[in-house]
A and B are shown apart, each in its own frame.
Chain A
Amino acid sequence: DAGVIQSPRHEVTEMGQEVTLRCKPISGHDYLFWYRQTMMRGLELLIYFNNNVPIDDSGMPEDRFSAKMPNASFSTLKIQPSEPRDSAVYFCASSETPNYGYTFGSGTRLTVV
């Protein structure tokens, strides 16, 4: 298995633009998590899915953020409109259970200018 695959690896965009981050989990992993990492706040859970259904989105910072999982092999995190304070590394992780054995993707480094 190629592991959790995220794209793009780097994204630079202008304030106000729409940004879409993509994730392909490990096959057979029923749980998918989106995390945001910054120096100030560390690793923050934004949202997670179980069998493609959003379970907890309490970490999504505001309505500008949305996430979907249309099927078991693909998820997106969208920011519209983007702001400079959204600059961070966004990680996707998947696992077989909600609490055990997370495998992280390589992350997307987002810079909003």
Chain B
Amino acid sequence: GENVEQHPSTLSVQEGDSAVIKCTYSDSASNYFPWYKQELGKRPQLIIDIRSNVGEKKDQRIAVTLNKTAKHFSLHITETQPEDSAVYFCAASGGGADGLTFGKGTHLIIQP
């Protein structure tokens, strides 16, 4: 099955700086890569996703890039704000009806 590795496990950045979270996947047939944000005590919520036929996607301050050859994808957050503090999960679909496989998560801390 699919295996998703996520790094780093914790990331601390100054408010206003950029943050980058990276994930790798194992199944070359995977074609869908969402990112979820989970605030403390809340449910994971989808913030952005990308399909394998697209290399990059942006939505205001967040962007996701995908490198199919290397089997890795990244989340980029620019001009970070205190409300960006949360745990971020990447995920990948196995190409079949296997459901989403999630990374272990990155705890993003925005320092004032």
Give min CB distance, A1 to chain B, whole Å.
15
Give min CB distance, B78 to chain A, whole Å.
25
Contact of A43 with B by CB under 8 A: yes
Contact of A105 with B by CB under 8 A: yes
Residues of B within 8 A of A100 (CB): 32, 34, 49, 93
> Across the interface, do A91 and B97 meet the contact criterion of CB distance under 8 Å?
no
> Across the interface, do A45 and B97 meet the contact criterion of CB distance under 8 Å?
no
> Across the interface, do A99 and B99 meet the contact criterion of CB distance under 8 Å?
yes
> Across the interface, do A104 and B45 meet the contact criterion of CB distance under 8 Å?
yes
The winner among B31, B49, B97, B103 for most chain A CB atoms within 10 A is B97
Among candidates A45, A48, A91, A101, residue contacting B43 with C-beta atoms closer than 8 Å: A91
> Across the interface, do B99 and A104 meet the contact criterion of CB distance under 8 Å?
no
Summarize A's interface: helix, strand, loop or mixed. Answer: strand
Residues of B within 8 A of A102 (CB): 34, 46, 100
> Across the interface, do B99 and A56 meet the contact criterion of CB distance under 8 Å?
yes
Interface residues of A in 68-113 (CB under 8 A from B): 91, 98-107
Known: A45-B101, A48-B99, A99-B93. 11 other contacts (CB 8 A): A33-B99, A42-B103, A42-B104, A43-B44, A50-B97, A98-B97, A99-B31, A100-B32, A100-B34, A102-B34, A103-B46
